[in-house]
Amino acid sequence: MSGWQEDGTTVGLTRPGFRDQAGLLAKLMIAPAIIYISAMIGIPFVLAILYSLSDVTTGDPTLRLIGLQNFREILADPVFRISLKNTFFFAFVSVTLVIILSRILATALMADFRGKWLVRFLIMLPWTAPISLGTIGWLWMYDSIFSPIDWILRSIGLLGTPGALLGAQPNLYWLGEPKLAMASVVLVHAWRLLPLATVIQLAGLSSIPRELLEAAEVDGAKGWRRTVEITIPLTLPIISIAFLFGLIFTFTDMTVVYVLTRGGPVHMTQVLSTWTFFKGIEGGDLAQGAAISLFLFPALAGVAALMLRMARRTEVV
C-alpha cells in the first residue's frame, strides 16, 4: 500500500516495477510479432541463403558449402533466363493493366447509381476466393476441349467454321499456344489483383477535397483535363502503392502459373517461383532451387523499400 501524508511525503510508496514501465510493456506487446516474423520469414530466409551456397538436396539435408557454384550454374541455364524474363514480363504487364482497369472502375464507382453496392461486391469477389480455386476456375475456362470462351466464340461464328475470323479449328488452345498462354496468365493475374487495386484507387479518389474539384470545374477544367491535371497528380502516391503491391504479389506468386500451365508450353510461361519448385523440390536439387528463388530478393527488397517510402509520402500528403 502507498499513500500521501499531509506534509506531502509518501508513505510506503514502492518504486515503479517493470509492470509500470510503458516502454517494457510496448516491447512485450511487439515481441510476438517480431518472433513470428523471425520464425516464419527470417529463419527460412537465412536457410535459403545457406542452401544456395551449399550442395544440399531434398534427400540429403547435410550442409556442405560450395560457394557461388549454384549461382554460376543457374546463370548458365537457359530455362532460368527465360523464367527471369517472364517473371518481370508478367509482373509489369499485369500490373500496368490492373492500374489502368482499376482506375476506370474506381472512377465509375465514384458516381452514384442504382445497384452500386452489388457492383462493388462483385468486383471484390475475386479477392475473397483463394488464388488456387480461382485459377482452377480459369483452367476450365481455358480448357482445350471444353472452354466456354471457345464455345461462345463458336456460337457467334468467330471460330470453328471455314473462313471464321479466329480460324476454322474448333478451339483456340489457350494454354497450348505460347502467346495465348502468356496472355492467359496475364489475364488471371489482372483478374485477381483488380479488386485490391480498385479499392486502393477508390480510397485515393475519395480523399481529393471536393472543393478542389469544384474550383477546377469553375475554372473550366473538365473531363480528361481534370483527370490528367488534378486527380492523377493528387492520387499518384496511392496509385504507386497499388502498383508496387501488385508487383510484389505477381513476382512472388507461383499458383497461377503452376495451376494453369506448369510453365509450358516449352517453358514459355515459366517464372522463377515455379522453376524454383520444379528444380528444387520435384527435381530434388534444393540448393539450386534456393539460388533461383534468391534472385527475386534484390528486386523485391527494392520494391518493398519503394513501397515504404511511398506510404510515408502518402501519410504526409
Partner 1 sequence: MARASKKGMTRREFVKAATVGTVAMGVAPEIFLPRQSAAVSRELKILVWSHFVPRFDKEWFDNFTKNWGKANDVTVKVDHIGLAEIPSRTAAEVSAGQGHDLIEWISPPSQFEPSVLDLSDVVKEAEKRFGKQHPLCRRSSYNPLTKKYYSFCPGWTIDPGNYRKSLWEKAGKPNGPETWEDLITFGGKIKKEQGIQLGIGLSQEIDSNMAARALLWSFDSSIQDAKENVVLNSKNTVAAVEYMARLFKEAMVPEVFAWTAVSNNQALIAGRAAYILNSVSAYRSAQKEVPEIAKDVYFTPALKGPRGANWSCEHVIYNYIIPKYSKNVDMAKKFLLALVENYDQAMYSSELYNSPAFFDAPIPSGDRGYPAVKGAKKLRDLHNSWFDDDPFALPGEAKGKLSVLKDAEKWSTNVGHPGPANPAEGEVFATFILPNMLANAARGMKAEEAVAQAELLVKAIFAKWRKKGLVGGTK
Paired residues of 3 in beta bridges: 11
Q: 61, 148, 233, 302: which one contacts partner 1 (CB under 8 A)?
A: 61
195 versus 289: smaller Cβ distance to partner 1: 289
Is the CB of 102 or the CB of 270 nearer to partner 1? 270
Is the CB of 2 or the CB of 128 nearer to partner 1? 2
For the CB of residue 89, give the shortest distance to partner 1 in the complex, in Å: 18
- Taking residue 36's Cβ as centre, other Cβ atoms within 10 Å add up to 11
Q: Which of residues 126-185 bind partner 1 (CB under 8 A)?
A: 142-146, 169, 171, 173-177, 181
Q: How far apart are CB 207 and partner 1 at their closest, in Å?
A: 36
Among 49, 216, 236, 262, binds partner 1 (CB under 8 A): 262
User: Taking CB under 8 A as the rule, does residue 265 contact partner 1?
Assistant: yes
- Toward partner 1, which CB reaches closer, 198 or 270? 270
Given candidates 2, 5, 9, 128, which one binds partner 1 under the rule CB under 8 A? 2
For partner 1, the closer of residues 55 and 127 by Cβ is 55
For residue 108, what is its C-alpha cell? 465509375
Torsion, Cα 195 198 199 204, to 10 degrees, reads 170
Nearest residue (CB) to partner 1, 58 versus 206? 58
| Residue 150 contacts residue 159 (beta carbons within 8 Å) | yes
From residue 285 to residue 314, the character string flagging contacts with partner 1 as x (rule: CB under 8 A) and all else as - is: xx----------------------------
Residues contacting residue 115 through CB under 8 Å, at least 6 positions apart = none
Q: Tell the smallest beta-carbon distance from residue 38 to partner 1 (Å).
A: 19
CB under 8 Å to 109, separation ≥6 — which residues?
116, 119, 120, 123, 198, 202
Binding residue for partner 1 (CB under 8 A) from 63, 79, 93, 149?
Answer: 79
Q: Is the dihedral of CA 317, 100, 131, 264 positive or negative?
A: negative
Q: Minimum distance between the CB of residue 170 and partner 1, rounded to whole angstroms?
A: 9
Residue 108: other Cβ atoms inside 10 A: 13
What phi-psi label fits residue 264: left (phi over 0), alpha (psi between -120 and 50 degrees) or beta? beta
The C-alpha cell of 222 is what? 473538365
The residues near 289 (Cβ < 8 Å, ≥ 6 apart) are 51, 276, 277, 279, 280, 281, 283
Q: Which residues in this chain contact partner 1 in the complex, by CB under 8 A?
A: 2, 19-20, 25, 55, 57-62, 73, 76-79, 142-146, 169, 171, 173-177, 181, 261-267, 278-279, 281-286
